[in-house]
Structure 1
Amino acid sequence: MNQVKTTELEKRIYQDYGTVAGIIILKNGQLQYENYFNSCTKDSRIHVYSVTKSVLSLLIGIAVDKGYLKNCSQKVLDFFPDYTVKRREHTIQNITIGNLLTMTAPYKYKYFAPYIKYFKSNDSVRFTLDLLGGKGQIGKFRYTPVIGPDILSGILTKAAGQPVLDFASEYLFSPLGITVKKSIVLQNKEEQIAFNSSREISGWVSDPTGVNTGGWGLTMAPSDMAKIGQLYLNGGVWNGRQIVPAEWIKKSTEVQSKWENLSYGYLWWIIDEKEHAYAALGDGGNVIYVNERKKLVAAVTSLFAPRAKDRIALIREHIEPIFEDC
């Protein structure tokens, strides 16, 4: 490792990426760099926002492999037989798990999601089902960072017969040595703000019904995120054990839908098709980045700040050149 280059990297982080909490870089499965900033340590747990989605995608793949789910073509409403579809509402009946994974499901609101009502809801799945469908086109990309993925979480909860956190602990977190201690119900705005800024809470937010959030709400350390990145780089194998099928990882990280010049897999962003580089991206600058050609994994946690500077640019322009020849 070139000490001069890493010193330059840290200067750039302090100068341009001042909210970074921790960074871990793996190359060929070996630790190449680990550092913490802003008084954070290896034990700090940060709310990683939409990185939660990519973890949920992984769990859906495990559920298919274990037989809890059949495939991505299953209709969403098959899992909610008691849900009453409004008169003349036909679109929702044709939306599949695959549409939710690829962000190609339509929603009834036009531009701005009703976040305030969402956060006040006691049943996030039913609240989201009421917004699903409408006059939009199934198959057209529509990114729903908060409202939407909870339906997948509700489906997994029903299919597996247990909370998503319990399922994750059994089939993913425990095998990888990741600790997520508890489900957390946020009672008010003040608790929400405190959770978002905390560095010490280990958990996964759930609604009052016990359904863990699908699009946000998971806290992790960089080491946890690096393990998930390495699991993907290993084709789903960890310590000789197949945790998630290699075929699921392949499909998850291939282009399944597009939004202008951006490509999307199964709740993973596709960064570079030629190098097969992809990432889990969370608001505020939280990232799990995998470059399969370079055999490199980068995990970045960040304290939240609006409009955080692009961490993918940090990784591609300033981290990869240092470690690609290690």
Structure 2
Amino acid sequence: MEDQALINLETMISQEYSNIAGIVVRKNDQLIYERYWNGCTKTSTLHIYSVTKSILSMLIGIAFDKGYLMDINQPVLDFFPEYTVKKKEKTIQHVTLSNMLTMTAPYTYKIGPYLKYFTSEDWVTFSLNLLGGKKAIGEFFYAPLIGLDILSGILMKVTHTSVREFAQEHLFSPLAITVKNSIYFQSKQEQLAFNKARDISGWAVDPKGVNAAGWGLTLSARDMAKLGQLYLNGGIWNGKQIISKAWIEESTKEHSRWDKMKLRYGYLWWLDVGEKNSFAAMGDGGNVIYVQPDKKIVISIMGFFKPNAKDSIDLIATHIRPLFDAIEI
């Protein structure tokens, strides 16, 4: 790689992607590039927003591998026998784990009631109360925040531990990743500060201790790249099978499609983003774990939230990946 090409890339990122905090590139299972901006370093941990969803997919896969879950088509209400279904509400009874993972579960809202959600004492019940309605099961409906906490609730039910603790034992620790704390927000100001922080290690929880499923996890750019590498390696890390290859293959093949955006979806993973045969975890702020198996490349980007932030996938496909394709490892 010519030094000038790299200088041009970094200059362009500084000028046009001012919210980006870090980029890590791995190729052929080796870290070959990392660069940080906005006062961040390799140890900085930022809120990765909806990238959290794909981490949750990993944990659901581990739960299946270990026998905590048995049937992808099991109705979600099976896990909440204490929940009282509203009168005349029948759709919710047929929503399955698969529907939750593929964003094909229906909800009664068009625009999420976010203020009520964030101030709720119980995000799982809040989500269950909005599940169902008149929309058909099987139609793609992307739930940005509200809804997926049902999956966190299910993981807690079957593993008898918190999602963060389950993740730390079975996913993070084998990869030398640490997510230290459960993070409770006492005010809107605390949550806003969390979104801007560079050094908080944790995962947001509701007052009942349930970790957010669609947001709320902090990781470093190196951490994200490791998780992408794990999937590229077929679930193996340092010779140990962390997640089954079968789950990885199943979760990164098409199960649903967002026709309006022309995007394919697996189990909480976006498919064919930027180019064919790739898959990615994507979140606000341009946070991305991008995996291109054909090129043996993993690229992670971490960034701070910025309204209308420029597309990190376009940055990867147009500028970053082509630059590193030429490197022989």
Q: Which range, TM-score by smaller chain?
A: over 0.9
Tell me how far apart the structure 2 counterparts of residues 14 and 274 of structure 1 sit (CA, whole Å).
24
Partner amino acid, structure 2, of 1:92: I
2:238 aligned with 1:239: yes
What are the residue-to-residue correspondences of 1:72-221 with 2, within 5 Å?
Answer: 72-109=72-109, 111-221=110-220
Task: Describe the shift of the 1:247–1:273 C-alpha distance in structure 2 as closer, same or farther (beyond 3 A).
Answer: farther
Secondary structure at 1:85's aligned position in 2?
coil
Tell me how far apart the structure 2 counterparts of residues 41 and 253 of structure 1 sit (CA, whole Å).
30
Identity of aligned residues (%): 58
Tell me how far apart the structure 2 counterparts of residues 30 and 169 of structure 1 sit (CA, whole Å).
23
Q: What corresponds to 2:264 in structure 1?
A: 263
Secondary structure at 2:22's aligned position in 1?
strand
Tell me how far apart the structure 2 counterparts of residues 269 and 148 of structure 1 sit (CA, whole Å).
18
Tell me how far apart the structure 2 counterparts of residues 285 and 62 of structure 1 sit (CA, whole Å).
27
Q: What corresponds to 2:295 in structure 1?
A: 294
Partner amino acid, structure 2, of 1:259: W
* Aligned-pair CA distance for 1:274: 7.3
Q: What corresponds to 1:323 in structure 2?
A: 324
Alignment check: 8 A CA contact 2:274 2:313 kept: no
Task: Describe the shift of the 1:273–1:300 C-alpha distance in structure 2 as closer, same or farther (beyond 3 A).
Answer: closer
Q: What corresponds to 1:283 in structure 2?
A: 284
* Aligned-pair CA distance for 1:273: 9.8
Q: What corresponds to 2:250 in structure 1?
A: 251
Task: Describe the shift of the 1:48–1:272 C-alpha distance in structure 2 as closer, same or farther (beyond 3 A).
Answer: closer
Task: Describe the shift of the 1:273–1:76 C-alpha distance in structure 2 as closer, same or farther (beyond 3 A).
Answer: farther
* Aligned-pair CA distance for 1:216: 0.2
Secondary structure at 2:294's aligned position in 1?
coil
Alignment check: 8 A CA contact 2:274 2:314 kept: no
Secondary structure at 1:196's aligned position in 2?
helix
Task: Describe the shift of the 1:273–1:3 C-alpha distance in structure 2 as closer, same or farther (beyond 3 A).
Answer: closer
* Aligned-pair CA distance for 1:184: 0.6
Partner amino acid, structure 1, of 2:235: G
Alignment check: 8 A CA contact 1:106 1:136 kept: yes
Secondary structure at 1:130's aligned position in 2?
helix
* Aligned-pair CA distance for 1:30: 1.2
Give TM-score, length-normalised by structure 1: 0.98
Stretches of structure 2 lacking an aligned partner (at least 5 in a row): none
Which is worse superposed, 267-276 or 91-100? Answer: 267-276
Partner amino acid, structure 2, of 1:318: H
Secondary structure at 1:64's aligned position in 2?
helix
Question: How many matched pairs?
Answer: 325
Runs of 4+ in structure 1 displaced over 3 angstroms? 272-275
1:157-199: per-residue Cα shift (whole Å, max 9, x none)?
A: 1010100000000000000000100101111111110111111
1:260-296: per-residue Cα shift (whole Å, max 9, x none)?
A: 1111111011125974201100111100000010110
Q: What corresponds to 2:62 in structure 1?
A: 62
Alignment check: 8 A CA contact 1:275 1:294 kept: no
Tell me how far apart the structure 2 counterparts of residues 75 and 4 of structure 1 sit (CA, whole Å).
56
Tell me how far apart the structure 2 counterparts of residues 222 and 51 of structure 1 sit (CA, whole Å).
12
Task: Describe the shift of the 1:272–1:201 C-alpha distance in structure 2 as closer, same or farther (beyond 3 A).
Answer: closer
2:34 aligned with 1:45: no
Partner amino acid, structure 2, of 1:257: S
* Aligned-pair CA distance for 1:148: 1.1
Secondary structure at 1:39's aligned position in 2?
coil
Alignment check: 8 A CA contact 2:275 2:317 kept: no
Alignment check: 8 A CA contact 1:2 1:322 kept: no
Task: Describe the shift of the 1:263–1:199 C-alpha distance in structure 2 as closer, same or farther (beyond 3 A).
Answer: same
Tell me how far apart the structure 2 counterparts of residues 74 and 219 of structure 1 sit (CA, whole Å).
30
Tell me how far apart the structure 2 counterparts of residues 22 and 154 of structure 1 sit (CA, whole Å).
32
* Aligned-pair CA distance for 1:255: 1.0
Tell me how far apart the structure 2 counterparts of residues 208 and 103 of structure 1 sit (CA, whole Å).
26
Secondary structure at 1:293's aligned position in 2?
helix
* Aligned-pair CA distance for 1:47: 0.3
* Aligned-pair CA distance for 1:43: 1.2
Alignment check: 8 A CA contact 2:117 2:146 kept: yes
**Aligned-CA RMSD value:** 1.0
Tell me how far apart the structure 2 counterparts of residues 71 and 324 of structure 1 sit (CA, whole Å).
40
* Aligned-pair CA distance for 1:325: 2.6
1:243-265: per-residue Cα shift (whole Å, max 9, x none)?
A: 00111111111111001111111
